[in-house]
Amino acid sequence: MAIEFEPVSALHFWRETIVQSLRREAPDLTTRQMAILLTIYLTPPPHTVRGLAKALNVSKPAVTRALDRLGHLELARRRPDEGDRRSVLVQRTVKGSVYLNEFADAILAAAGTAQPSPS
């Protein structure tokens, strides 16, 4: 799928994607929660609370709370670090993979519809 991106069409594309996700029944994640979820799935492990907080410029309690919510939704999972029991390793789940696959589809669909308006 090839896209020619200009500022206005970039905004159209963004709008199309988030409007689609508003319509879905999929759980509505905050920006922070989404950033954490994407980081877990897209960057190499291990992922710790402290590492996520630093990488995303967010406080540690905010990461903890986001993980509470993601865990409750079964989109991510906490697992104690056997090597250092102070640490927590954040891991992926099947539901999380499905959720992000569907979200990627929404992005691609939006990229398709937001395109045709060069005039």
Q: Which amino acid is at 62?
A: A
Nearer to DNA, 9 or 87 (CB): 87
Assess 10 for contact with its own copies (CB under 8 A). Answer: yes
Nearer to its own copies, 60 or 104 (CB): 104
Q: Which does 69 bind (CB under 5 to 8 A by kind): its own copies, DNA, none?
A: DNA
Find residue 88's DSSP bridge partners.
80
- Contact 90/67 with Cβ under 8 angstroms? yes
Assess 50 for contact with its own copies (CB under 8 A). Answer: no
Q: How far is the CB of 14 from DNA (least distance, A)?
A: 18
Nearer to its own copies, 11 or 79 (CB): 11
Range 37-96, binding DNA (CB under 7 A): 48-51, 58-69, 78, 81, 84-88
Cis (ω within 30 of 0) for the bond into 116? no
Q: Which helix (H) or strand (E) holds 77?
A: strand 76-80
Q: How far is 64 from 4, CA to CA, in rounded Å?
A: 39
Assess 1 for contact with its own copies (CB under 8 A). Answer: yes
- Contact 86/60 with Cβ under 8 angstroms? no
